[in-house]
Amino acid sequence: MRQLVFATNNKHKLGEVAAKIGDSFKLLSLDDIGCRDEIEETGLTFTENAALKSRFIHQKYKLDCFADDSGLEVDALNGEPGVFSARYGGTHGDHEANMDKLLKNLGDNPNRKSRFRTVISLIMDDKELFFEGAVEGTIRHERTGTGGFGYDPIFQPDGHDITFAEMSMEEKNRISHRGRAVEQLTAFLSAP
Ligand code: ITT
């Protein structure tokens, strides 16, 4: 079976993507290939950051790989936190601090419109390709639900009356930014 590295340290993301990719590829995490490097996400766009991660792994390990960069854009905050989503509250990956800061900055603003976006950068057979996905929604005033990760407890996707954190992984995966980007990736990977 062909191997493909998913350049992430985020176990939730790994689980979501592995469920979508199925058995067609053996998915390897950074842990699986013994990569302990801190890959700097210094880009100003999701595309740049995804490419930084996949290029780093490809150059160092000479393996086919993909990376994603995702984030939340809130219209009333001029697209913040965007590429700073992971460290919006100050510490990388402190999801509670990130949500606290977002809810504080948004206050009682009635415009709660937002979207999650994902860009996947794939390097395979020395070619580089990009896949994108997005999901529109609104920011709740309070957290609801315990599933998922990141901003899931305060994000309600359009057409639903529950947050991502109240959905099963399968339900979230069907409509999420990452799920949609991964669908394009898998369509490409399974094309003859
Ligand atoms: P890696 O860089 O190791 O892959 P990460 O947690 O930094 O993991 P991203 O750069 O893709 O992941 O995402 C940045 C942040 O955006 C992430 O830490 C969350 O705060 C938020 N985010 C991304 N996808 C999300 C999702 O599906 N649900 C909730 N929050 C999400």
Whether domain 2-190 has CATH 3.40.630.10: the reply is: no
**Cα separations (Å) of 23 from 3, 40, 65, 88?**
11, 31, 16, 35
pTM: 0.93
Please work out whether the CB of residue 73 comes within 6 Å of at least one atom of ligand 1.
no
CA atoms within 13 A on the CB side of 134: 10
User: Tokens 């595309």 belong to which residue?
Assistant: 47
Contact in structure between 180 and 159 (CB atoms under 8 Å): no
Whether cis (ω within 30° of 0) applies to the bond prior to 110 is: no
Pairing of strands 26-28, 113-124: unpaired
The amino acid at residue 169 is M
30 token code pair: 């950074």
Please work out whether the CB of residue 86 comes within 6 Å of at least one atom of ligand 1.
yes
Catalytic residues, which ones?
69
Q: What is the pLDDT along the chain (192 residues), one digit of tens a residue?
A: 889 999 998 888 888 888 888 787 889 999 999 999 988 889 999 999 999 999 999 999 999 999 999 999 999 999 999 999 999 999 999 999 999 999 999 999 999 999 999 999 999 998 999 999 999 999 999 999 999 999 999 999 999 999 999 999 999 999 999 999 999 998 998 887
Domain boundaries, the chain: 2-190
**What DSSP line would sit under 142-178, residue for residue?**
S---SSSSTTGGGEEETT-SS-GGGS-HHHHHHHSHH
* CA 192 / ligand 1 centre spacing (Å): 32
Give residue 39's region: left, alpha or beta (phi > 0; psi -120 to 50). beta
* CA 151 / ligand 1 centre spacing (Å): 9
Residue 56 has what pLDDT?
A: 96
- Residue 67 CA: nearest ligand 1 atom is 4
What span, in angstroms and rounded, lies between the C-alpha atoms of 157 and 23?
Answer: 29
